[in-house]
Structure 1
Amino acid sequence: MQNRPLGSQGIITSQLGLGCMGMSEFYGNKNDAESLLVLQRAVELGIIFWDTADMYGPFINEALVGTALKLVGRQNITLATKFGIVRDATNPTVRGIDGSPAYVQSACEASLKRLDVEMIDLYYLHRKDPNTAIEDTVGAMAKLVAQGKIRGIGLSEVSSETLRKAHAVHPISAVQSEYSLWTRDPEDDVLATCKELGIAFVAYSPLGRGFLTGQIKQFEDFGATDYRRFSPRFQGENFHKNLALVAKIEEIAATKGCSPSQLALAWVMAQGDYIFPIPGTKRLQYLEENAGALTVNLSATDLENIDSIFGKDAAVGTRYPEAMMKSLNA
């Protein structure tokens, strides 16, 4: 494991991170005891960049991560969390977006309490608020930096234009967006902007929400509460067309002596030293398999072969339902 600068504000962390969302929601039943073992094992593997958010659960994922921090030592972890997506207290499926300055402060205070820490290393705006200028939101986040409550400012799923406006107010440490072999939207311009401005790019769902692992073979593999049942890429004809793409990735992985997931993660890491994939898992087996991606070396020829199969628009179907797509690349 290599530790690398995450942006230009002095944060150093592991090149491979851990997404904690699925430990509490969205991907079937949770098991806090097993998740805590995963988090502890992650540190042993050198995976010290942990990602959570207030809306995961909602709220309970931050509390779980806070418990784990006591077990492994807060000082050993680069802690990232997010605010801005507000879920209704009585119906968590109803969501709004709030990036107002007053909410920035209150949301951070609440996250600090749930995590039981004095400072958050990387604090993201989860989605841009269409009713609040990005300059106002980032200005409020800059006050959190001055107060010593956060170290770095992050944005999630923003456009290059929004990123430049935000960076002019206060240096942005990282942008987090979905990026994988089957979601290559950031290649349009965001990746280049991050590289130009010295901003880290954090790739969530680098395994295509589990699809690129090769473990998902039929729609029925998803439990009744698994939100992938409602994702266009996992439905109907889209599912079968995308499955055929994964089969080709499995063939390449076999020639490299690695698993499809290791190949997919190695591909993301090969796109630049400023890119940090954060695959999520709640299983020790998959955590250790993901860590094995660090030993996979992809040659220029390998990358060309992979690109010929999984080109930019190879995946079929949008990555979110229509209503949620509107908040992406904002």
Structure 2
Amino acid sequence: MSILDSLKTPVIVAPMAGGPSTPALVNAAAEAGSLGFLAGGVMPVEQLKQELAEVKGVFGVNLFRPQSDTPKPSDIDELAGLLSSPFRQYGLNEPTVPTPDLTNGWEEKFAAVLGAKPAVFSCTFGIFSSEEFAQIKDAGIEAWVTVTNPEDAVTAQKAGADALVVQGPEAGGHRSTWTIGEEPDERDLATLIQAVKQAGVEIPLIAAGGLSTASDVAAILDKGASAASCGSAFLLSPEAGTSALNREILDAAPALGLESVSSRAFSGRFARGVETQFTRSNEGLPPLYPYLNPMITSLRKAAGSAGNWDYAYCLVGVGLESIAKTSAKQILESLTPSALS
């Protein structure tokens, strides 16, 4: 029996790394009979431990799988050159090349999550090892894997995943390809769900990507999903940790005609967010994850403080006009198919 069978709603609150996912949002989901996730992918280990201590009831945790491939040094140098002029424009020192931790503190975070005993432990950007699958299951935790194509779905099922988060191109945030260089599957979410099932996958499928209304959720459940994972719908809720600037951008975007686009120009790997001048001008950027974000952060801050959104980092899925400024509980109720009756 899956944790999904015990939920009061087929809608779960997706992990949103970088701030939006908070213990308050996770706790609100649990109180409403849903499942929310702490997004530990890029946060410091100590912060994750603190947030694990603050969650109550049923919850999940998501981590980013360690990255095995790296950008070309020449591509990183070209990025530094690209950023040089706007850095000077804002009186900043020349961009510097960081030395990122490609593991995101995986081992210590993995141990902390096991000790916290969430209902679900999920991973993005790859798959748990056989030993890790065994440890998770020995702890009585469900192991979920995020996939973007039928091939990865079959691999994850064979490896021992209890459920799969099938992420379509409409999803906000990073697309969970298992390498930084691969071009993501662009079939829409409904088609991907059907393709995964046709590939012989029989474990529960949680559909993720652009599900912003109860009608969207009902339609994807009819396609064979066991549940819907919604993230962008909660970005303007009071429980979310969305920054003040991103709340301003999300609030203004529909009236300004700004759309959600998928681009490597947000972070160096494909991610979907509110289009900016930088994303429009750099559609062809090579795989630069995770170097782009730390290299451009000071420029984003300087420009944002000056009211310039050209370099903003506001990740969100399609359906910007449907994002509500209300409580997580009310949003969950509005997304549940029973709201249609």
Q: TM-score, normalised by structure 2?
A: 0.37
TM-score of the aligned structures, taking structure 1 as reference length = 0.38
